[in-house]
Amino acid sequence: MSRRLPGCRRRRPPACSATTATSAKSPGPAWCRRRSARRRGYNLLLSNSDEDAEQEIPAVRVLLGQQVDGHLIAPTPLAAHRNRAVETIAGSGRPVVLIDRLVPGVAADAVISDDREASRRLTSVLLDDGHRAIGFLSSLPFDGRYRAGDFIPSTPVADRVSGYLDALAAVGLPSVDGMVRLKVDRTSIQADARTFLTRSDRPTAVIASDSRIGLALFRAARDLSMDIPGQLSLVVFDNADWTDVAAPGITVMSQPMRDIGAQAALLIDRIEGAVADPRVVVLPQRLVERASVSRPPAAP
């Protein structure tokens, strides 16, 4: 982010950057961050690591080499409970604001959405319609098979799994081993979705932790001639464009992307000398109910 100073020449304009972990998100946050920055006289430099820490670290080093004055970063999933890119920025002494995700042990401003409560509500929509076999799918990298209580290296996914388990516990349901599936491979996402829907104890409803997984499940159900919502109820995080035009329309939890993006002002305040304890801004998500949920099919 470089500052525009009309009528004034500087040897090096102040600058700050935004590093995004994934391209699966809507472009809304980046657009809003850029607009918010320009209102304050700054430009925004963007970089995308595509959830790969090996790309994220060099990108951050390049931006630091360009002497940017502050960073907005949606960090990649933790490795050994750490994020080296965020630690590198913090060690440089330059301001940093975490977007969408937290990093334990790093004292920094952060803007996140309330994923735990959103997931609890989304799961409750399915429970209220009578579903008891509810699956949860995410493409988050994960070692081995997830079991309740395992450490999850991404705070949004960890909070979504916790909200899902909260909702089950509230109606007296135990978590079923294997119903939470992490590490759905991006290269075989369609096949993984199909396998999940044809397992012997297949779910009657599925929560997709992102729109890419949701679209794979939608296509897999179509390929299997599995009616949505008659034979499978499907709900998805992220209000992606396809969810509104699909037949049927997909019930989603819409994240406050524009509001998150608008919080670029937190970083600019820090660059311009604001002194205060780090704060975490938690924004609510919005349930958008469409036509992809109904009561589970009767047992044969």
What is the per-residue pLDDT across 143-160, written as a single tens digit (0 to 9) for each? 888 988 899 999 999 999
- Helix orientation angle between 115-128 and 155-170, rounded to the nearest 10 degrees: 40
**Is pLDDT at 172 greater than 90 in this prediction?**
yes
How far apart CA 234 and CA 250 sit, in angstroms, is 7
Percent of the chain with pLDDT strictly greater than 90 = 58
pLDDT band at 186 (very low <50, low <70, confident <90, very high): confident
User: Do 52 and 76 contact (CB within 8 A), yes or no?
Assistant: yes
The answer to whether residue 11 scores a pLDDT higher than 50 is: no
pLDDT at 132 over 80: yes
- Phi and psi at residue 169, to the nearest 5°: -65, -35
pLDDT of amino acid 182: 92
pLDDT at residue number 262: 77
pLDDT > 60? residue 258: yes
pLDDT at 207 over 50: yes
Look at residue 9 in the predicted model and tell me its pLDDT: 30
Confidence of residue 65 (pLDDT cuts 50, 70, 90): confident
Average pLDDT over residues 287-296: 98
Check pLDDT > 90 for residue 254: yes
Confidence of residue 26 (pLDDT cuts 50, 70, 90): very low
With a cut of 90, say whether residue 49 has pLDDT above it: no
pLDDT grade for 246, boundaries at 50, 70 and 90: very high
Mean pLDDT of 65-74: 86
CB 45 within 8 A of CB 16: yes
Strand order in the sheet with 251-254: 180-181, 134-137, 205-208, 233-237, 251-254, 286-288
pLDDT for the residue 6:
32
What's the pLDDT score for residue 2? 41
CA–CA distance, 235 with 25 (Å, rounded to integer): 17
pLDDT score recorded for residue 299: 67
Cα–Cα distance, 280 to 97 (Å, whole number): 9
| Mean per-residue pLDDT, 3-30 | 46
3-state secondary structure of 191: helix
* 261 pLDDT higher than 90: no
Give the mean pLDDT of 123-131: 98
21-25, 44-48, 136-140: least confidently modelled range: 21-25
Taking only Cα atoms into account, the Rg of the chain, rounded to an integer number of angstroms, comes to 21
In this prediction, residues 185-204 reach a mean pLDDT of 91
Question: Where is pLDDT greater, at 67 or 10?
Answer: 67
Given a cut of 60, whether residue 79 has pLDDT beyond it is yes
pTM attached to this predicted model: 0.87
Average pLDDT of the chain is 86
Q: What is the DSSP letter of 79?
A: B
Average pLDDT for 139-145: 87
Q: Report the DSSP beta bridge partners of residue 17.
A: 45, 71
